[in-house]
Structure 1
Amino acid sequence: MATTPLTAEEIDALEPSFLGPTWMRNPLGAWELPQFTLGWQIAGWCAEYLRAEDGGPWKFTPEQLRFVLWWYAVDKNGRFIYRKGVLQRCKGWGKDPLLAVLCLVELVGPSRFSHWDPKTNEPVGIPHPQAWVQVTAVNQSQTTNTMALIPSLMSDRFKQVYRIKDGAELIRANGGKARLEAVTSSYRAIEGKRTTFVLLNETHHWIAGNNGHKMYETIDGNATKKDSRYLAITNAYLPGENSVAEKMRASFEQILEGRAAKISYLYDSIEAHPKTPLTPEALRIVIPKIRGDAVWLNVDAIIESVLDLTISASRSRRMWLNQIVAEEDALYGPAEWKACQRDDLVLRPGDEIVLGFDGGKTDDATALVAIRVADMAAFVIDLWEKPDGPQGENWEVNRELVNSRVHETFQLYDVKAMYADVALWESYITDWAAAYGEGLAVKAPGTNAIAWDMRGSLQRSTLAHERLMRSILDAKLVHNGDLALKRHVLNARRRTNNYGLSFGKESADSPRKVDLYAALMLAHEALYDLRTRGKKTKKRTGRGYFM
């Protein structure tokens, strides 16, 4: 059925997503700026020594300046607030020129804290005494994008004062004490280097196949030496490629989830609303918002590119709207899942719920998901997932902890049904059925009230999955924005069979888990059965369970 086109007012109301302190405002509506930063001094230094495209002194746009102020923000001890960062913007925004300027700042500018000004109590910056700046990428054309801009930025005074000896891939300053170089793909060539600042160029192209992952790991390792930092610039990445850009975004979202330690990490992005239509009328309204201060981006030219049928819609969204759009075999994109989000949802003790459980042992996660009967609101009760890095070695889920959480859930809520995949957890599921089966309003197929064998009946599982998909795509199932659930849902891939559309991981050994999605499907199927064939039950009195 055709949908009614959005009005100009409705399109204008589709606010972009803003990530990073660059976009924070104070209660009065003014931009939030760091208390202490070297950025103001750096802006003055750039105006004195660097040239703009028109030959005049370099001047940051307000948007660029806010980013610089935050990137060079320091704490009361003079230490940088951020050790690493990501600047994600649409194509043509000007990431390369901005970072070319910052590379020169890092080469000879006031890029490191020296002392506090006794009169103003403001931080004072000095050049790094042994600056070693690298522009890194996985192919030469990417480094050329930045390095080719540098000669035009350097004024005659800059070259004279800092004794510049420039070249295409290596620039030396201060008699060779400071250096700026381009490096491509050779992670071995940069391993162990005492770099002071590294630019990671176009990390959406850094994948395992071109040594992008090894480059990134080497750069991060080098950054632990001295007072080193690194900054990545990227367009919106293609989900599923497992690029460095995707890994850095996943790391950032894990911090937001609380699944990773809160480290000094600046992530700055502005992304169009998922519902933005690719029509000329909508693009004329939205592109000026997404481009920020990059007024040089021609809206008419962008519209022509978007309307060119030889360019896929998903690519246009990534390039010009800075949207992270899922690959072709993904079940859902961020937009479909976002449409189901209700930020005010809270699961309260005593709520009537159904449960879905998908258990793993070592590699696969173990997930317990609830759906509230009254409004089809999904909640993650708990997730046990193998930690990343060394902590994940020899990891195995604590089965008794999971068992205790299941019993606790039955005590806290009015559980009407529970479907649990039997794989690896059959004995526990038998115990849960013995403890609670008689009080359930609907029981799983077979002799066990809770056991639901996802692998035993492909047809039944496929039909259950298609019912879940309809509820999500119609936004009948809602959620509170849980980031772990979002991650597992967006990881799910299309798997067709003789009975219809099912799901799976992108590959058997993929680290991108889907277990919360599997648990969500089981809970949804339990709710479907409850509504179609459930019986009325007396409210559970709450027989206690103790470990």
Structure 2
Amino acid sequence: MPYAPDGRWTAPEFSLGYQVIDWIEAYLVHGPGDVQGQPIVMDREYSRFIVDAYEVDRRGRRRVTRAFLSRPKGRAKSELAGMLVCAEALGPVRSDGLDANGQPVGRPVTYPFIRCLATEESQAGNTYDNVHFMLSEGPVYDAYPGLDVNLAKVNIPGGGEIVPSTASSASKDGGKESFGVFDETHLYVSPELHSMHKTVSRNLLKRKIAEPWALETSTMYAPGEGSIAEQMHGDFMKVLEGLLEHPGLLFDHREAPQVSIKNKAELKKALRYVYGPAAEWMDLDRMVIELQTMQEHEARRYFLNQPTATADQAVDKDAWDAIEVENDIKPGDQIAIGFDGSLRYDATSIVGIRLSDGLIFPIRIWENPHTSEDWEVDVLEVDAAMAKAFAEYRVEWVYADPAYWQDIVGRWAVEHGDKTVFEFWTHRDTPMANAVERFRTGIQTRQIFHVGDKTLTRHVMNARTREVRAGAVLRKESKKSKNHIDACMAAVLAVEARADAIADGRLRKKRYRAMSY
């Protein structure tokens, strides 16, 4: 249920969010900052998020188990998280039946245990700082006698608590959270923070009646750092691709359109868009000036909320998007194939490319879901997929990386001819650098195209380059990264196979009419 920032938003049929908003506005004040102590009036954009986050089904059960809120720096994400912590502690956040109109009626959580996660060992965290102020000031303090608010934790009248936690403390505590807040998850890159995230996420599974859930807030991540924010974005993309079931995920991301940082008028317009209602109280003119002095990837990531690639990204996203065309691949088309495989840890990919026009399409991609250490690709399934490709298309040339697959690649050569199936060792720098150069040049000059497959696109966007004497070769952003690039590697081999097939005179121009674009 992603958020549509252009206004195409459909309210859930049932939601406690409206009551939560009313409670926040009635009992809380703004946290530390320019407007601290002033009454809260929830803006439209964050109101929509709260309504989505508190959607319930016809029985009154929560539908969202994990919400991810992505906004630019300065958009008061931590303050919003603090408001929701206070509401989860005291407000009408769980269903207590239906009213006369068939709408849910809210009630407080019985014994709420809420954890605010901080990234620094020496700090309570931005979310808890807001909670501490909000529960110490304003109407809530008088309305809920018995609140015990201090820097270490908040004791809730009737039982329950709000605690700030760091990586070390959370990992040692077998808590039973009813709500957890992970603030600024683009910073969750260390093993300790990953462990904290995993521990608290497990704890949220312990209390069925309390309907626990988690809120993650972040600005956009730096691709390749392996942050929790990057993992969450990757999971969401897999949900869209149908590769992962996560019905309880709410992914609410607002990103500025692509503009030139040097064009001040365009930049200001983009800032106004990405900050939404907050643009009215942001100093956009100053931001435009300051962003001119920053490194571009920092400006885009923190203030335009764009997941900005590092300089070593193999393929520019805009260039890749520009060569997407309709998929009109047909049985009998002349094609070349690239194959890159892994037995256990990574992915295995068979990618085709039509000889006549360079249209790239995935034949089959298998990915390790990283849910079990025992997973391995079904070798017989891969073999059958290659056989089916030969039966369905006129396969003229195959380049296959034989690492881990040497026996099978050898058998393919026997079955389909050693003038059709060739080994291509991707660890050899010079031929690989030449193939990568052909692939990237084909994208930039629009000599090759692709059908817009989301999994293939994700692999291409995950790919990084490493400079060697012969040029640039492909690599993952880190050796232990779970972001697959194997389909990109197979696409590179397919493009190289096509070029060699054409050079060998195998293109039947009279039988196959090239597409026009």
Query: Please, what TM-score do these two structures have when normalized by structure 2?
Result: 0.90
Task: Work out whether residues 20 and 91 of structure 2, in 8 Å CA contact, stay in contact via their aligned partners in 1.
Answer: yes
Aligned partner of 1:246 among 220, 230, 243? 230
Matched residues in 1 for 2:70 and 2:116: separation?
Answer: 17
Q: Which amino acid aligns with 1:237?
A: Y
Deviation of the 1:56 alpha carbon: 5.3
Matched residues in 1 for 2:259 and 2:354: separation?
Answer: 27
2:494 equivalent in structure 1: 523
Deviation of the 1:187 alpha carbon: 4.7
Task: Work out whether residues 221 and 230 of structure 2, in 8 Å CA contact, stay in contact via their aligned partners in 1.
Answer: yes
Matched residues in 2 for 1:289 and 1:404: separation?
Answer: 49
Aligned partner of 1:202 among 184, 194, 206? 184
Summarize the alignment of residues 426-465 of structure 1 with structure 2, pairs less than 5 Å apart: 426-437=406-417, 448-455=419-426, 458-465=429-436
Deviation of the 1:75 alpha carbon: 0.6
1:355 equivalent in structure 2: 337
Which is further off, 330-339 or 83-92?
330-339
1:84 equivalent in structure 2: 66
Deviation of the 1:273 alpha carbon: 3.0
Q: Which amino acid aligns with 1:34?
A: P
Cα deviation, 1:440-481, whole Å, max 9, x if unaligned, reads xxxxxxx65311322585322221221111112334433233
**1:299 partnered with 2:280:** no
Cα 1:409–1:141 change in 2 (3 A) is: same
Runs of 5+ unmatched residues, structure 2: 512-517
2:515 equivalent in structure 1: none
Deviation of the 1:134 alpha carbon: 1.6
Aligned partner of 2:130 among 132, 146, 149? 149
Summarize the alignment of residues 371-410 of structure 1 with structure 2, pairs less than 5 Å apart: 371-390=353-372, 393-410=373-390
Task: Work out whether residues 422 and 451 of structure 1, in 8 Å CA contact, stay in contact via their aligned partners in 2.
Answer: no
Cα deviation, 1:304-358, whole Å, max 9, x if unaligned, reads 22111xx31101100111000122332234444333334x334333333221111
Task: Work out whether residues 100 and 147 of structure 1, in 8 Å CA contact, stay in contact via their aligned partners in 2.
Answer: yes
Which is further off, 522-531 or 90-99?
522-531
Cα 1:188–1:320 change in 2 (3 A) is: closer
Matched residues in 2 for 1:510 and 1:48: separation?
Answer: 46
Matched residues in 2 for 1:504 and 1:56: separation?
Answer: 51
Matched residues in 1 for 2:271 and 2:5: separation?
Answer: 20
Structure 2 residue matching 1:394: 3-state secondary structure: coil
Matched residues in 1 for 2:427 and 2:183: separation?
Answer: 48
**1:411 partnered with 2:394:** no
Q: Which amino acid aligns with 2:506?
A: K
**1:281 partnered with 2:265:** yes
Cα 1:404–1:144 change in 2 (3 A) is: closer
Aligned partner of 2:27 among 49, 57, 62? 49
**1:219 partnered with 2:200:** yes
Summarize the alignment of residues 86-235 of structure 1 with structure 2, pairs less than 5 Å apart: 86-117=68-99, 119-139=100-120, 143-154=124-135, 156-163=138-145, 164-174=147-157, 177-188=159-170, 191-209=173-191, 211-226=192-207, 227-235=211-219
Cα 1:100–1:509 change in 2 (3 A) is: closer
Structure 1 residue matching 2:421: 3-state secondary structure: coil
Task: Work out whether residues 336 and 354 of structure 2, in 8 Å CA contact, stay in contact via their aligned partners in 1.
Answer: yes
Runs of 5+ unmatched residues, structure 1: 1-19, 438-446, 541-547
Which is further off, 41-50 or 152-161?
152-161
Matched residues in 1 for 2:37 and 2:429: separation?
Answer: 68
Structure 1 residue matching 2:254: 3-state secondary structure: strand
1:442 equivalent in structure 2: none
Matched residues in 2 for 1:111 and 1:491: separation?
Answer: 39
Task: Work out whether residues 313 and 461 of structure 2, in 8 Å CA contact, stay in contact via their aligned partners in 1.
Answer: yes
Aligned partner of 1:266 among 250, 255, 275? 250
Cα 1:414–1:111 change in 2 (3 A) is: same
Deviation of the 1:24 alpha carbon: 7.4
Matched residues in 2 for 1:456 and 1:197: separation?
Answer: 47
Matched residues in 1 for 2:363 and 2:90: separation?
Answer: 53
Task: Work out whether residues 131 and 178 of structure 1, in 8 Å CA contact, stay in contact via their aligned partners in 2.
Answer: yes
Which is further off, 448-457 or 348-357?
448-457
Cα 1:477–1:434 change in 2 (3 A) is: same
Task: Work out whether residues 143 and 201 of structure 1, in 8 Å CA contact, stay in contact via their aligned partners in 2.
Answer: no
Task: Work out whether residues 274 and 335 of structure 1, in 8 Å CA contact, stay in contact via their aligned partners in 2.
Answer: no
Q: Which amino acid aligns with 1:498?
A: R
1:484 equivalent in structure 2: 455
**1:331 partnered with 2:302:** no
Matched residues in 1 for 2:17 and 2:410: separation?
Answer: 63
Structure 2 residue matching 1:130: 3-state secondary structure: coil
Q: Which amino acid aligns with 1:63?
A: E
Which is further off, 165-174 or 76-85?
165-174
Deviation of the 1:103 alpha carbon: 0.9
**1:318 partnered with 2:301:** yes
Task: Work out whether residues 3 and 251 of structure 2, in 8 Å CA contact, stay in contact via their aligned partners in 1.
Answer: no
Matched residues in 2 for 1:520 and 1:323: separation?
Answer: 26
| Matched positions, count | 501
Deviation of the 1:217 alpha carbon: 0.2
Task: Work out whether residues 261 and 296 of structure 2, in 8 Å CA contact, stay in contact via their aligned partners in 1.
Answer: no
Query: Please, what TM-score do these two structures have when normalized by structure 1?
Result: 0.85
Structure 2 residue matching 1:263: 3-state secondary structure: coil
Identical residues among aligned pairs (%):
31
Q: Which amino acid aligns with 2:102?
A: N
2:3 equivalent in structure 1: 22
Aligned partner of 1:500 among 436, 458, 471? 471
Cα 1:428–1:185 change in 2 (3 A) is: closer
Matched residues in 1 for 2:97 and 2:111: separation?
Answer: 18
Cα 1:235–1:509 change in 2 (3 A) is: closer
Which is further off, 370-379 or 464-473?
370-379
Cα 1:145–1:83 change in 2 (3 A) is: same
2:14 equivalent in structure 1: 36
Cα 1:345–1:143 change in 2 (3 A) is: farther
Task: Work out whether residues 355 and 371 of structure 1, in 8 Å CA contact, stay in contact via their aligned partners in 2.
Answer: yes
1:473 equivalent in structure 2: 444
Q: Which amino acid aligns with 2:69?
A: L
Task: Work out whether residues 325 and 333 of structure 1, in 8 Å CA contact, stay in contact via their aligned partners in 2.
Answer: no
Which is further off, 293-302 or 271-280?
271-280
Matched residues in 2 for 1:22 and 1:458: separation?
Answer: 44
